[in-house]
């Protein structure tokens, strides 16, 4: 009993000591005020807040570290942006706690994040979530690696000799200048990127390459390692996992690695002394961030190039209207092959109609191919693989009534019906419900016909038409990276075409109307980009390469494809956008949400006098009662438009508006 009483008395004394007030820890002697960007996305709180730095955290509280602070009665995370001697806040400042002594946010990254947030009328906290990955303490505890010695400078321009302006670009890069180029690349573009990266590293500068997907990232990473040697770069993509990605990201932040290859999230990678930024295929919609404030890789790296004095390469087989605008304003210069060289490296391209020719060609009807296309495949399969690009995945993704041709819709939600195989029951693509007892509401018909044919059905038809030939598919969840040089039919959706060893002997571009008929402002530009990417995978005409385009030969994108003229197509597209007052000729924003909230937003917004408002109009898809409006302003007033939208969102946030309104500046898709 006595021993138990002593233990109880000791506990009481410990509680008394803990309850006894401790003398307050003094503030840091020098610059005791920390300005913190708190991790709060409310628009009216999008600014820095002052906190006191305790003396015990003085050495750790450096700009860029993660901190925890008391904000609105809760503990929230944030980043210490800067230290100051005094604060304008009249009262007593709350104290911060340093989470980690690792400075993860550089001043350059903080400045870039602020500019990106302002451009897209968003909050700094949202951009910082994209810029800095979540912390893993074990990765931070690891010993920093020693930086690798930079590779030697290339002896000659290498593959850049194919471009008249290529050697000059490399010379400027090697001299520490900041050339900017819209680059129309050859089929061996990963090797060309690697050569430019080596040039930047040899000049004691960093390099950043951002590509649309992990397949491209793997190709570029392999080329960089072959060109520059091991240990010169890291690969940043979602496939490596959060912990390993953070470890690699830290190696870049600490300066142990000076080159980064990655997908969209790598656009904010903290490369030390950035000398070269590369965006491959900037027209790919994977470069558009799906989270607020929805920044685009191209725009972020254009801003980063300007802020950090880095060279910029906007590369692709096609050229976007945005890249063309940079060329026409003189901000960037074209780097491309001569027209003669481009044609010599291309396969032989021919066009053929589809429905009319099929009607006259019963022998080819089973394969859904005109005789020219069928014969091209048959000849190509003697010497290697052949690519068949199909614009839609699935089996029969769109159905209609056989009798009256009305689109087949789901009785439950009015979504489009589709078939997943030749023996499947029609099923809704929206809600997934089967529609085995479907009847046409227009004519009471019960039979369905295919409106569009997907990759799976095309592969099935080709397998019957070419017995004994291996048929492989790439798209959806099963994307192939490469195929060997053995004869095979490769059926792929746009963007999922595997690279063939030695190039494809031939390619068919099926149903070109499906890409051109998309109800989107960028339909023609996107179609040409997809086709040129497929054509680049085919052998040159001198080696027997052939491409057959099934579609209307009079369509402007098809004509640009036949001429291999991406620059001319981009100039024409930009001129059309100017005439229509659409991006990139203007700054455009889409405001969407409940109809009454959108109306209220437009009334409250103090837009520049040059801004025009289109709408609001009800949304055709989505929940009822939703609407959207388009707001556009000349480029010179673009910053003012973004600022007005941001201020309006801040006002709604401050008064706690019940309905949420989304603002997207220069969205990729307008519908």
pLDDT tens per residue, range 1-27: 445 567 776 666 666 555 555 567 787
Considering the domain architecture, whether residues 421 and 332 belong to the same structural domain is answered as no
Place of tokens 């070269």: 276
Q: Does pLDDT of 237 surpass 90? A: no
Do 533 and 442 belong to one domain? Answer: yes
Co-location of 254 and 172 in the same domain: yes
Q: Average pLDDT of the chain?
A: 88
Place of tokens 């068919």: 508
Q: What integer pLDDT is reported at residue 266 of this predicted model?
A: 95
Question: What is the rounded CA–CA span in Å between residue 439 and residue 410?
Answer: 10
Shared-domain flag, residues 590 and 572: no
Q: Is 461 part of any domain?
A: yes
CA angle 79, 84, 88 (to 5 degrees): 100
60 by Cβ neighbours in 10 Å (0-12 / 13-18 / 19+) ranks as middle
Phi, psi (5° rounding) for residue 63?
A: -55, 135
Whole-number Å distance between alpha carbons of 158 and 227:
11
User: How does residue 552 score in pLDDT terms, banded at 50, 70 and 90?
Assistant: confident
Residue whose C-alpha is closest to residue 388's, from 483, 319, 318: 483
Give residue-wise pLDDT tens across range 458-475: 767 787 778 888 989 888
526 sits in which H/E element: helix 523-535
- The 10 Å Cβ neighbour count of residue 637 is 19
At residue 411 the predicted structure's pLDDT band, cuts being 50, 70 and 90, is: confident
Q: Does 192 score more than 80 pLDDT? A: yes
Answer whether residue 2 is part of any domain.
no
**Crossing angle, helix 297-308 and helix 321-328, to 10 degrees?**
30
- The answer to whether residues 213 and 281 belong to one domain is yes
Secondary structure E strands in 258-402: 259-262, 274-280, 311-316, 333-335, 348-352, 386-389, 398-401
Q: Has residue 355 been placed in a domain? A: no
Residue 363 lies in a domain: no
Task: With respect to residue 565, please indicate whether it lies within any of the assigned structural domains.
Answer: yes
Is there a single domain that holds both residue 162 and residue 127?
no
Q: Domain range holding 310?
A: 158-341
User: Are both 565 and 599 inside the same structural domain?
Assistant: no
Say if CB 401 and CB 442 are below 8 A apart.
yes
Quick: pLDDT tens for 72-111: 889 999 999 999 998 888 888 999 999 999 999 999 999 9
CA 524, chain centre distance (Å): 19
**Is residue 462 a contact partner of residue 364, using CB atoms and an 8 Å limit?**
no
Adjacency order of strands within the sheet including 333-335: 233-236, 259-262, 206-210, 274-280, 311-316, 180-184, 333-335
Q: Around 252, how many Cα atoms within 13 Å sit in the side-chain half-sphere?
A: 31
Q: Is the pTM of this model over 0.75?
A: yes
Alpha helices in 551-637 (DSSP H): 556-563, 566-580, 595-604
The Cα-based distances of 441 to 239, 406, 429, 433, 613 in angstroms read: 47, 9, 19, 18, 38
Report whether pLDDT(477) > 80: no
Same domain for 547 and 427: yes
Mean pLDDT over residues 130-141, rounded?
89
Q: Is residue 439 part of a domain?
A: yes
- Per-residue pLDDT, averaged over 294-304, amounts to 97
Instruction: Using pLDDT thresholds of 50, 70 and 90, give the confidence band for residue 242.
Output: confident
What pLDDT is recorded for position 311?
97
pLDDT score of 326 more than 60:
yes
The position carrying tokens 């961030």 is: 289
Residue 644: CATH number of its domain: 3.30.70
Last residue of a domain, one of 341, 364, 399: 341
Domain stops at, among 577, 592, 624: 577
> What does the block give as tokens for 150?
């930079």
Q: Specify the DSSP element, H or E, that contains 178.
A: none
Residue 390 corresponds to which tokens in the numbers above?
A: 């199909």
597 and 571 together in one domain = no
Q: What is the CA radius of gyration of the chain?
A: 29
Mark whether 556 and 590 lie in a shared domain. Answer: no
**Statement to judge: residues 569 and 589 lie in one domain:** no
Token digits for 609?
């006098």
State residue 337 phi and psi, 5-degree precision: -75, 160
Decide if pLDDT at 420 tops 60.
yes
The answer on pLDDT for 655 being more than 70 is yes
User: Which CATH number fits the domain that encloses residue 257?
Assistant: 3.40.50.300
> Is residue 306 in a domain?
yes
Q: Does the N-terminal peptide bond of residue 293 adopt cis geometry, omega within 30 degrees of 0?
A: yes
The number of distinct structural domains making up the chain is: 4
Q: Which of 2-11, 110-119, 548-557 has the lowest mean pLDDT?
A: 2-11
In the structure encoding, which two tokens stand for residue 425, read together? Answer: 């029951």
Q: What CATH code is carried by the domain that includes residue 65?
A: 3.40.1440.60
The verdict on 603 and 523 lying in the same domain is no
pLDDT of residue 671: 56
User: In 336-464, where do the E strands start and end?
Assistant: 348-352, 386-389, 398-401, 417-418, 427-428, 448-452
From the list 80, 79, 85, the residue with the least C-alpha distance to 30 is: 85
Residue range 47-66, pLDDT digits in tens: 999 999 998 888 999 999 99
Distance CA 597, CA 610 (A): 23
Residue 485 tokens read as 């040089």
- Whether 302 is in a domain gets the answer yes
pLDDT at 57 (0 to 100): 87
- Residue 281: pLDDT above 50? yes
Beta strands at 33-38 and 49-52: parallel, antiparallel or unpaired: antiparallel
Position 565 pLDDT exceeds 90: yes
pLDDT score recorded for residue 90: 84
């Amino acid at each position: 009993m006595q021993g138990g009483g002593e233990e109880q008395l000791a506990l009481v004394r410990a509680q008394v000591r803990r309850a006894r007030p401790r003398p307050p820890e003094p503030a840091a002697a020098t610059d005791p005020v920390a300005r913190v960007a708190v991790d709060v996305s409310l628009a009216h709180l999008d600014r820095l807040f002052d906190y006191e730095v305790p003396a015990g955290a003085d050495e750790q509280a450096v700009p860029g570290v993660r901190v925890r602070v008391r904000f609105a009665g809760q503990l929230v995370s944030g980043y210490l942006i800067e230290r100051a001697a005094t604060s304008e806040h009249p009262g007593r400042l709350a104290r911060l706690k340093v989470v980690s002594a690792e400075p993860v946010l550089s001043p350059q990254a903080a400045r870039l994040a602020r500019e990106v947030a302002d451009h897209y009328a968003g909050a700094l906290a949202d951009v910082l979530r994209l810029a800095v990955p979540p912390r893993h303490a074990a990765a931070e505890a690891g010993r920093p690696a020693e930086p690798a010695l930079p590779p030697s400078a290339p002896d000659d321009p290498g593959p850049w000799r194919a471009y008249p302006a290529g050697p000059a670009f490399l010379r400027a890069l090697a001299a520490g200048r900041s050339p900017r180029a819209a680059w129309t690349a050859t089929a061996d573009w990963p090797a060309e990127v690697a050569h430019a990266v080596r040039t930047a590293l040899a000049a004691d500068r960093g390099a950043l390459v951002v590509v649309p997907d992990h397949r491209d990232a793997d190709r570029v990473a392999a080329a960089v390692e072959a060109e520059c040697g091991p240990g010169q770069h890291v690969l940043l993509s979602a496939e490596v996992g959060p912990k390993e990605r953070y470890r690699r990201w830290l190696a870049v932040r600490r300066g142990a690695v000076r080159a980064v290859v990655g997908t969209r999230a790598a656009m904010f990678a903290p490369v030390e002394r950035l000398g070269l930024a590369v965006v491959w295929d900037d027209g790919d919609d994977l470069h558009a961030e799906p989270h607020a404030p929805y920044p685009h890789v191209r725009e972020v790296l254009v801003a980063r190039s300007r802020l950090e004095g880095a060279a910029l390469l906007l590369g692709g087989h096609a050229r976007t209207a945005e890249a063309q605008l940079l060329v026409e304003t003189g901000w960037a210069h074209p780097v491309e092959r001569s027209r003669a060289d481009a044609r010599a490296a291309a396969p032989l391209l021919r066009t053929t109609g589809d429905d009319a020719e099929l009607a006259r060609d019963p022998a080819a009807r089973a394969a859904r191919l005109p005789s020219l296309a069928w014969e091209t495949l048959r000849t190509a399969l003697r010497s290697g693989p052949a690519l068949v690009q199909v614009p839609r995945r699935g089996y029969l993704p769109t159905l209609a009534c056989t009798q009256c041709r009305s689109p087949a819709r789901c009785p439950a939600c009015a979504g489009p019906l589709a078939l997943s195989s030749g023996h499947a029951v029609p099923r809704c693509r929206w809600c997934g419900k089967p529609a085995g007892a479907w009847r046409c509401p227009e004519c009471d018909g019960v039979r369905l016909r295919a409106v569009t044919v997907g990759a799976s059905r095309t592969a099935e038809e080709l397998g019957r038409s070419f017995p004994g030939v291996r048929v492989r598919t790439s798209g959806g969840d099963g994307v192939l990276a490469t195929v060997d040089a053995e004869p095979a039919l490769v059926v792929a959706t746009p963007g999922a075409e595997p690279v063939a060893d030695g190039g494809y002997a031939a390619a068919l571009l099926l149903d070109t109307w499906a890409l051109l008929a998309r109800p989107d402002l960028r339909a023609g530009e996107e179609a040409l980009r997809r086709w040129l990417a497929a054509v680049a995978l085919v052998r040159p005409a001198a080696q027997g390469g052939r491409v057959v385009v099934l579609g209307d030969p009079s369509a402007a994108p098809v004509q640009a494809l036949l001429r291999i003229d991406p620059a001319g197509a981009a100039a024409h597209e930009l001129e059309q956008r100017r005439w229509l007052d659409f991006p990139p000729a203007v700054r455009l924003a889409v405001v969407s949400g409940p109809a009454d909230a959108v109306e209220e937003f437009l009334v409250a917004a103090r837009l520049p006098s040059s801004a025009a408002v289109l709408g609001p109009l009800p949304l055709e898809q989505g929940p009822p009662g939703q609407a959207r409006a388009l707001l556009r302003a000349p480029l010179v007033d673009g910053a003012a438009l973004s600022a007005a939208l941001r201020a309006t969102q801040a006002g709604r946030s401050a008064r706690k508006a019940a309905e949420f309104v989304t603002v997207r500046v220069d969205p990729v898709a307008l519908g």
